[in-house]
């Protein structure tokens, strides 16, 4: 008979799943908030905003930024720097729309649920 996962195992799984959803949203949020930001600025701001709860290894962070740029086209480079760490990103029109709709349809209702838990 299979044993039930422990609370620690479930919490780790929950944290990983939350990170996969929230981290890209936080990247877009930081870029929107700042108008533009480099990969390093984005990572630093996310760490600061979440008090370190949402941080990831530089390679994983860079993959996330690249996915948002190349796969989903939510962000785009502002300048043509050859050094990736110096490239500043801004939201595309699609990124602005997705961010605004995410706030309206997901974040604001979630905020109401969280307030009710206080």
Average pLDDT, the chain: 92
Domains of the chain, by residue range, sit at 7-116
Residue 1, helix vs strand vs coil: coil
Identify the sign of the CA torsion 101, 103, 106, 112: negative
Bridge partners, residue 25, by sequence: none
Does position 1 have pLDDT exceeding 70, yes or no? no
Q: What pLDDT is attached to residue 11?
A: 92
Check residue 42 and give its pLDDT: 97
The pTM assigned to this predicted structure is 0.88
CATH-assigned architecture of domain 7-116: Orthogonal Bundle (1.10)
Give the 3-state secondary structure of residue 52: coil
| Per-residue confidence (pLDDT) for residue 59, from 0 to 100 | 94
39-80 pLDDT, tens digit per residue, is 999 999 999 999 988 888 999 999 999 999 999 999 999 998
CA distance 23 to 54: 7
């Amino acid at each position: 008979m299979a044993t039930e996962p422990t609370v620690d195992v479930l919490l780790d799984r929950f944290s990983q799943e939350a990170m996969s959803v929230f981290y890209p949203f936080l990247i877009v949020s930081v870029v929107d908030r700042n108008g533009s930001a480099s990969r390093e600025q984005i990572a630093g701001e996310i760490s600061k905003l979440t008090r370190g709860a949402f941080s990831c290894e530089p390679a994983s962070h860079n993959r996330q930024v690249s996915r948002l740029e190349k796969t989903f086209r939510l962000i785009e480079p502002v300048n043509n720097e050859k050094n990736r760490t110096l490239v500043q990103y801004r939201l595309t029109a699609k990124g602005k729309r997705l961010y605004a709709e995410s706030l309206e349809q997901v974040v604001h209702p979630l905020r109401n649920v969280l307030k009710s838990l206080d």
